[in-house]
């Protein structure tokens, strides 16, 4: 195995900070570790799950040497071993570099699930990993995607964060499901597909690199190879006559970040308990003894892998730092909003009273603002709040009343019947006022229902607004929320009652007094003139024909009347009538004559009066007649005669005009007064007195405890969110400082890309493993003084080294 080595410190000054004031990545990588610790308890839910933190994911097939690589980076044996699958849960490994003076230079590990408990015995770390795995997935080779988080603090490591993922397996064993390979691949892809993830693809040198499972998955997640580092293990057990030089040069499967070749401990070494320090000594000796790897010093060995991972991870962090900080700031705002919804913890009656009063005041302010259109939550997509009330008033209530025709429910016969009923047993001298008042009151009464419907619609809107005003702070108190709804609902219902009474009074006021002197009322005279004009215009075309038909009708009626009185039918032969018996034709003056008669109630001509007198005279003669004329009984339902006179037609027209005119006056009054009544008795009353009502009903010290009972999970959420808020706040502030620090140190931390695409370490020779000019045997030298200062550990030397000792690497 090469030179005898007592400890890892004898071999790895590159992993120590004793010769260097601060290790590479000491400023930014610990911050990422802290952020990972913050994100871990929150899990995969919420906005935080979208934040991709920079990390290194280690993938490879079973027995590819992943565990050996990780242990070599740590310098300790701490991972479970076996011939079957060993890594059954993702292991997040945070390597933290610290000075030798801390904790007496001792190395220790701490699990996230056992906070505060430090493991100084690394064999106990191995056993705890096994135990925690079995607690989650059992004892029989099951796998889980639930992480185990382990932090190792040591002066002999560089700051690196790695995620060791289960190895790719082909054949299920134990209680593994038949699709175990697909499940493991899915788990791996959930990590390596993230753009912030560096992929460490581990492949054994004694297999075909082109068919490596790790490289194939890396190519699937990272097609350009821009964030994949290849690790080729087991270089010492390749077939004789073969080597991995072309692999390391990227000539087989090119990767922009290149490859690192390492030599693992064999199973025999593990069985014989050979230490990591001895393995590193053997690895160094192997590369010295194989000149084929000459010139590839920056691509060979665990120390080079550690430095490369450290540098690449820091450079990657520096690249994603601005976007990461923006994401964290965004999440911080989300956390602040969430924290506000949970409110403050309450420990005394005074605090409870203050919180309750604040909630009630904010609720009332939000309600008033919503009604007045001043709410900060005003929608731009739809009408809300008071705008909806205005829409109900103007676009629903007013327009609905305007569409009503007051005469549509009354036919001409209905109006004619009403007029005759209003005259009673006598003839009216004027167009009757009673039927007009009866009909107009009936139409006014119809306005009550839509007015009350308008009130109900506004009430419903207020209920909706009251629920929309419930802030998240109220929802943390389910009892208070329920009591608020109860008090608010009762208060609004109580406000509906006076509004209903007022609307009813408005309608009754209009019905109780028909103001025929209203300046906008058409009046009887104007209505008569308009009715006469309408009648004339409809009769002008047929005026002559109507006069002729009128004369014939009058003659016929006179003849029939005389026949009845004399008992002689016209067909039995009559003598010609004298001129005195002929009625006088009224000609074109007939319209004017009946119009005047209509006004003064004369419904019969002078000829008809004469006929009535003759009828009276005949009664005496009939008494002496041998037979009695029997009168018919009036029908149970009596309607006006079918024949409508011209006078009645005018009366119907006049009544309709009066009805429409006065209804328009009342409608405008209702359209004006009803919204005012609703606003006064319901809406504004609620705005004015709601807070006082809440205080009277709810602000009682005896009710504080009951109403301010929080939901069971609110206290836990508040505590957790508060912790996340404080840590995120510190993280964002630290990121600001680190960003400035990284920018100022960009030239010293940066690395120029070599032609192979591999990042070089500043201050190191490109030919770290080189052949000395003075000797034929390989020697480990450095031509750069800065590198010598970094990697040399003073004057100590190993036995058998004639060149002044083996320089620490």
The SS3 of residue 367 is helix
Question: Does this chain's domain 8-47+57-330+744-791 share its CATH topology with 384-476+485-524+650-689?
Answer: no
Which range is least confidently modeled, 398-402, 661-665, 741-745?
Answer: 741-745
Q: Give yes or no for residue 228 having a pLDDT over 90.
A: yes
How far is C-alpha 463 from the chain's CA centre?
Answer: 22
Residue 718 or residue 301, greater confidence? 301
Enumerate the β-bridge partners of residue 196: none
| Torsion angle of C-alpha atoms 608, 611, 615, 617, degrees rounded to 10 | 130
Give the CB-side neighbour count of residue 28, counting CA atoms within 13 A: 31
Rg (CA), the chain: 53
Q: What is the fold of 384-476+485-524+650-689?
A: 1.20.120
Enumerate the β-bridge partners of residue 93: 150, 162
Give the CB-side neighbour count of residue 341, counting CA atoms within 13 A: 14
Domain extents for the chain? 8-47+57-330+744-791, 384-476+485-524+650-689
Q: Strand 160-164 vs strand 148-154: parallel, antiparallel, or unpaired? A: unpaired
Question: Which range among 27-36, 169-178, 507-516 has the greatest average pLDDT?
Answer: 507-516
Question: Which range among 44-53, 163-172, 536-545 has the greatest average pLDDT?
Answer: 163-172
The SS3 of residue 89 is coil
Question: Which range among 401-405, 471-475, 645-649, 796-800 has the greatest average pLDDT?
Answer: 401-405
> What is the pLDDT averaged over residues 330-336?
87
Distance in Å from the first CA to the final CA of the chain: 17
Question: pLDDT digit string (tens) for 234-253?
Answer: 998 888 888 889 999 999 98
pLDDT for position 120: 92
Cα separation, 159 vs 593, in Å, equals 119
DSSP 221-280: H-TT-TTEEEEEE-GGGSPTT--SHHHHTTSSS--TT-EEE--PPPHHHHHTT--HHHHH
pLDDT for position 62: 80
Name residues whose C-beta falls within 8 Å of residue 397's C-beta, 6 or more positions apart in sequence. 450, 451, 454, 671, 674, 675
Q: Which CATH architecture has domain 8-47+57-330+744-791?
A: 3-Layer(aba) Sandwich (3.40)
DSSP 580-625: GGSPPP-GGGHHHHHHHHHHHT--S-HHHHHHHHHHHHHHHHHHTS
Count CB-CB contacts under 10 A for residue 206.
Answer: 15
Confidence of residue 565 (pLDDT cuts 50, 70, 90): very low
Taking Cα atoms as reference points, which of 306, 124, 251 lies closest to residue 791? Answer: 306
pLDDT for position 474: 77
Alpha helices by DSSP H, 299-348 = 302-342
Average per-residue pLDDT for the chain: 73
CA distance to 121, 447, 718, 803, per residue, from 796 (Å):
28, 109, 57, 12
Cα separation, 758 vs 255, in Å, equals 9
Cα separation, 401 vs 444, in Å, equals 11
Q: Which two structure tokens, joined as six digits, stand for 553?
A: 């009708």
Q: What is the pTM for the complete model shown?
A: 0.52
Please state, for a pLDDT cut of 90, what percent of the chain lies above it: 16
pLDDT for position 616: 52
Taking Cα atoms as reference points, which of 319, 439, 435, 449 lies closest to residue 397? Answer: 449
Helical packing angle, 684-698 and 478-512, nearest 10°? 140
Cα separation, 412 vs 265, in Å, equals 114
Question: pLDDT digit string (tens) for 587-606?
Answer: 343 333 333 333 334 333 44
Cα separation, 204 vs 123, in Å, equals 26
DSSP classification of residue 425: T
pLDDT for position 764: 32
Q: Strand 91-97 vs strand 160-164: parallel, antiparallel, or unpaired? A: antiparallel
Cα separation, 230 vs 222, in Å, equals 13
| Torsion angle of C-alpha atoms 515, 517, 518, 519, degrees rounded to 10 | 170
Q: Which two structure tokens, joined as six digits, stand for 149?
A: 């988080």
Taking Cα atoms as reference points, which of 241, 229, 258, 243 lies closest to residue 294? Answer: 243
> What is the pLDDT averaged over residues 269-289?
87
pLDDT for position 374: 78
Taking Cα atoms as reference points, which of 198, 285, 209 lies closest to residue 244? Answer: 209
Cα separation, 479 vs 142, in Å, equals 46
Taking Cα atoms as reference points, which of 296, 275, 69, 172 lies closest to residue 758? Answer: 296
pLDDT for position 802: 36
């Amino acid at each position: 195995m090469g030179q005898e080595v007592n400890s890892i410190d004898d071999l790895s000054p590159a992993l120590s900070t004793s010769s260097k004031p601060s290790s590479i990545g000491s400023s930014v990588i610990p911050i990422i570790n802290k952020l990972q610790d913050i994100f871990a308890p929150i899990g995969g839910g919420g906005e935080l799950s979208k934040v991709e933190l920079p990390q290194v994911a280690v993938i490879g097939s079973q027995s590819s040497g992943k565990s050996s690589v990780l242990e070599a980076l740590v310098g300790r044996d701490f991972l479970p071993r076996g011939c079957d699958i060993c890594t059954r849960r993702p292991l997040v490994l945070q390597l933290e570099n610290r000075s030798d003076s801390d904790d007496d230079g001792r190395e220790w590990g701490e699990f996230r699930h056992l906070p505060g408990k430090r493991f100084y015995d690394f064999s106990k770390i191995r056993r705890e990993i096994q135990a925690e795995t079995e607690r989650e997935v059992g004892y029989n080779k099951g796998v889980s995607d639930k992480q185990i988080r382990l932090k190792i603090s040591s002066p002999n490591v560089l700051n690196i964060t790695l995620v060791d993922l289960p190895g790719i397996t082909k054949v299920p064993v134990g209680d593994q499901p038949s699709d175990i390979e697909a499940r493991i691949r899915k788990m791996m892809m959930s990590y390596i597909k993230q753009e912030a993830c560096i992929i460490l693809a581990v492949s054994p040198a004694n297999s075909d690199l082109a068919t490596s499972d790790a490289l194939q998955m890396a190519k699937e997640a990272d097609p350009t190879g821009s964030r994949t580092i290849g690790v080729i293990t087991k270089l010492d057990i390749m077939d004789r006559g073969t080597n991995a030089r072309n692999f390391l040069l990227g000539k087989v499967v090119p990767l922009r970040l290149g490859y690192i070749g390492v030599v693992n401990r064999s199973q025999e070494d593990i069985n014989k308990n050979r230490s990591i320090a001895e393995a590193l000594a053997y690895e160094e000796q192997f590369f010295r003894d194989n000149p084929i790897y000459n010139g590839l010093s920056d691509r060979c060995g665990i120390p080079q892998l550690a430095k490369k991972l450290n540098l690449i991870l820091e450079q990657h962090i520096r690249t994603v730092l601005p976007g990461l900080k923006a994401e964290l700031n965004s999440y911080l705002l989300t956390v602040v909003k969430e924290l506000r919804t949970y409110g403050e913890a309450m420990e005394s009656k005074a605090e409870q009273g203050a919180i309750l009063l604040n909630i009630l005041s904010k609720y009332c302010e939000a309600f008033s603002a919503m009604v007045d259109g001043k709410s900060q939550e005003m929608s731009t997509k739809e009408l809300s709040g008071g705008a909806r009330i205005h829409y109900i008033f103007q676009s629903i209530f007013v327009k609905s009343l305007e569409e009503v025709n007051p005469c549509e429910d009354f036919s001409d016969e209905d109006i004619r019947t009403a007029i005759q009923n209003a005259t009673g047993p006598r003839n009216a001298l004027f167009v009757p006022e009673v039927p007009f008042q009866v009909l107009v009151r009936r139409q006014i009464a119809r306005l009550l229902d839509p007015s009350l419907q308008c009130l109900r619609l506004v009430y419903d809107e207020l209920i909706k607004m009251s629920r929309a005003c419930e802030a998240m702070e109220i929802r943390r108190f389910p009892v208070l929320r329920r009591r608020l709804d109860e008090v608010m609902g009762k208060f609004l219902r109580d406000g509906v009652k006076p509004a209903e009474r007022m609307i009813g009074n408005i309608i009754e006021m209009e019905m109780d007094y028909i103001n025929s002197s209203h300046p906008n009322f058409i009046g009887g005279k104007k209505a008569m003139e308009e009715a006469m004009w309408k009648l004339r215009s409809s009769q002008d075309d047929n005026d002559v024909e109507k006069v002729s038909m009128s004369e014939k009708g009058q003659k016929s009626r006179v003849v029939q009347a005389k026949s009845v009185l004399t008992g002689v039918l016209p067909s039995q032969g009559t003598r010609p009538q004298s001129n005195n018996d002929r009625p006088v034709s009224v000609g074109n003056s007939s319209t004017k004559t009946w119009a005047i008669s209509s006004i003064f109630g004369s419904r019969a001509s002078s000829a008809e009066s004469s006929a009535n007198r003759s009828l009276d005279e005949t009664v005496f003669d009939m008494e002496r007649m041998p037979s009695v004329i029997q009168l018919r009984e009036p029908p149970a339902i009596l309607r006006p005669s079918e024949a409508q006179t011209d006078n009645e037609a005018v009366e119907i027209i006049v009544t309709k005009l009066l009805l429409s005119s006065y209804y328009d006056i009342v409608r405008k009054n209702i359209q004006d007064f009803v919204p005012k009544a609703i606003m006064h008795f319901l809406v504004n009353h609620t705005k004015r007195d709601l807070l006082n009502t809440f205080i009277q009903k709810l602000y009682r010290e005896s009710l504080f405890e009951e109403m301010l009972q929080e939901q069971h999970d609110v206290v836990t959420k508040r505590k957790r969110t508060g912790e996340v808020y404080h840590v995120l706040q510190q993280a964002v502030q630290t990121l600001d400082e680190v960003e400035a620090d990284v920018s100022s140190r960009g030239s010293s931390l940066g690395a120029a890309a070599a032609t192979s695409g591999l990042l070089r370490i500043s201050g190191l020779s490109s030919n770290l493993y080189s052949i000395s000019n003075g000797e034929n045997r390989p020697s480990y030298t450095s031509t750069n003084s800065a590198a010598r200062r970094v990697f040399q550990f003073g004057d100590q030397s190993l036995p058998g080294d004639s060149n002044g000792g083996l320089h620490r690497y």
